[in-house]
Amino acid sequence: MPARNVCLPADLRFLFWDVTFDDLAVEQNRDFIVARIAEHGTDAAIRWLRGTYGEAAIAQALESRCHLLSAGTLNVWRLWLRKPEDWCATIPSRPLRGRFWKS
The verdict on residue 54 lying in a domain is yes
Give residue-wise pLDDT tens across range 78-90: 999 999 888 887 5
The verdict on residue 92 lying in a domain is no
What is the pLDDT at residue 88? 81
What is the total count of domains within the chain?
A: 1
What is the pLDDT at residue 31? 96
The verdict on residue 1 lying in a domain is no
pTM: 0.80
The verdict on residue 86 lying in a domain is no
The verdict on residue 102 lying in a domain is no
The verdict on residue 69 lying in a domain is yes
What is the Cα–Cα distance from 28 to 37, expressed in whole angstroms? 16
The neighbour count for residue 71, using CB atoms within 10 Å, is 13
The neighbour count for residue 102, using CB atoms within 10 Å, is 6
What is the pLDDT at residue 92? 52
The verdict on residue 62 lying in a domain is yes
Domain range for 17 = 10-80
The neighbour count for residue 79, using CB atoms within 10 Å, is 11
The verdict on residue 33 lying in a domain is yes
What is the Cα–Cα distance from 100 to 8, expressed in whole angstroms? 39
Lowest mean pLDDT among 64-68, 71-75, 91-95: 91-95
Give residue-wise pLDDT tens across range 30-62: 999 999 999 999 999 999 999 999 999 999 999
What is the pLDDT at residue 89? 74
What is the Cα–Cα distance from 5 to 15, expressed in whole angstroms? 19
What is the pLDDT at residue 94? 54
What is the pLDDT at residue 67? 87
What is the pLDDT at residue 3? 44
